[in-house]
Amino acid sequence: MAQGTNDFSNAIIDAAGRVAKSASAGTLMAYADGIDDIGRLLDSIKPPTGVVMVTRDDRDVLRVRDFKVKHLAVPQFNLTRMGQIKMATLMAFSKGMLQAGEVFVFLTGVIGKRVDTLVVMEVGQEYELFQSVGQPKLTEHIRRVVFERVLTLMLELAHEGREGKPIGTLMVVGDYREVHKFCQQNIINPFKGYPEKERNILDDAMRETVKEFATIDGAFVLKGTGVIMSAGTTLTPGIAGDPLPQGLGARHSAAASITAATKSIAMTVSESTGDIRIWRRGRMITEIEKAPRGPSSPGADKPDS
């Protein structure tokens, strides 16, 4: 690696502590695989700022454990820099590692390379990231482990598609007694009649089953406990969510509407771009952008039904 790159990354790491102090940051988060010398980073951070190292694989976990600091395990996917930040901070927020109103500093970079980006954020002030702050807890009606499993599965669908083909998907998770009032089946429900323990998304055996049925038009509907209640489901809440960003279609409209009408969250994967959007109370909480594959990759979302 070029010496200039090393110097630049070290300068950012050395500056992290000064920035955290100046911003009165409660937490500094950093991707461990982008930092060769974790000790150098920790030496720059002074209380009361805490440190959370974000890990993508077992090797990173072992490195972090040597320093006895908090770590957050995230799926290993090729996301943009802001996509990486959004995914990690959303998971940290759901785990209680970040609190409403807290200022935090984040270090990241291109996957597989040293950190090159320092971002300062305040939970609740970044419109696109934490629009739900001040509402009931994100996981009030959803087990945290279920939320994280659904997010991971949606990331897999966004990056792998099905048999090499991109697919668009919608999953709704939450208070099924409310959501069920607005459900109609497009097809015979493939999950009907099976014991709940055999159709829980926390069961690793369900991953391929979900990916197979993700090609069917309609939504997956899950209880907050992770039990999959239906697939190929049309949602008819009759309540409009907030106006959609330009280029988003029926799938996203359904996600906005069902979350406006019920105590639920929805996650969508765009068939055209692979971007993941998370919806709550009729509006988009955040958008996690997939990194472009190359110069020929499309730069904008296309209308997505």
The answer to the question of residue 298 being in a domain is no
The answer to the question of residue 95 being in a domain is yes
209-226 tens-digit pLDDT: 999 999 999 999 999 999
Last residue of a domain, one of 71, 92, 122: 122
Domain range for 179: 144-288
How many whole angstroms separate alpha carbon 145 and alpha carbon 109? 27
Answer left, alpha or beta for residue 14, where phi above 0 means left and psi between -120 and 50 means alpha. Answer: alpha
The answer to the question of residue 133 being in a domain is no
Whether residues 97 and 27 share a domain: the answer is yes
Whether residues 188 and 278 share a domain: the answer is yes
Number of domains in the chain: 2
Q: What percent of the chain has pLDDT over 70?
A: 88
pLDDT bin (cut points 50, 70, 90) of residue 254 is very high
Model pLDDT, residue 301: 36
Measured in degrees and rounded to the nearest 5, phi and psi for residue 132 equal: -90, 0
Whether residues 168 and 85 share a domain: the answer is no
Whether residues 173 and 271 share a domain: the answer is yes
117-128 tens-digit pLDDT: 999 988 765 544
pTM here is 0.82
The answer to the question of residue 179 being in a domain is yes
Model pLDDT, residue 295: 39
Whether residues 252 and 117 share a domain: the answer is no
Alpha carbon separation from 66 to 17, 32, 39, 50, 53 (Å, rounded): 21, 12, 10, 17, 12
The answer to the question of residue 193 being in a domain is yes
Model pLDDT, residue 245: 76
**Is pLDDT at 108 greater than 80 in this prediction?**
yes
Whether residues 214 and 273 share a domain: the answer is yes
Whether residues 151 and 272 share a domain: the answer is yes
The answer to the question of residue 131 being in a domain is no
Read off the CATH number of the domain in which 259 is found.
3.40.1700.10
**Which of the given ranges, 163-167, 233-237, 281-285, has the highest pLDDT on average?**
233-237
Whether residues 82 and 156 share a domain: the answer is no
The answer to the question of residue 132 being in a domain is no
The answer to the question of residue 183 being in a domain is yes
Model pLDDT, residue 256: 93
Whether residues 269 and 158 share a domain: the answer is yes
How many whole angstroms separate alpha carbon 239 and alpha carbon 258? 8
Read off the CATH number of the domain in which 111 is found.
3.40.1380.20
Whether residues 116 and 156 share a domain: the answer is no
174-197 tens-digit pLDDT: 989 999 999 999 899 999 999 999
Model pLDDT, residue 138: 57
Whether residues 103 and 216 share a domain: the answer is no
Whether residues 117 and 150 share a domain: the answer is no
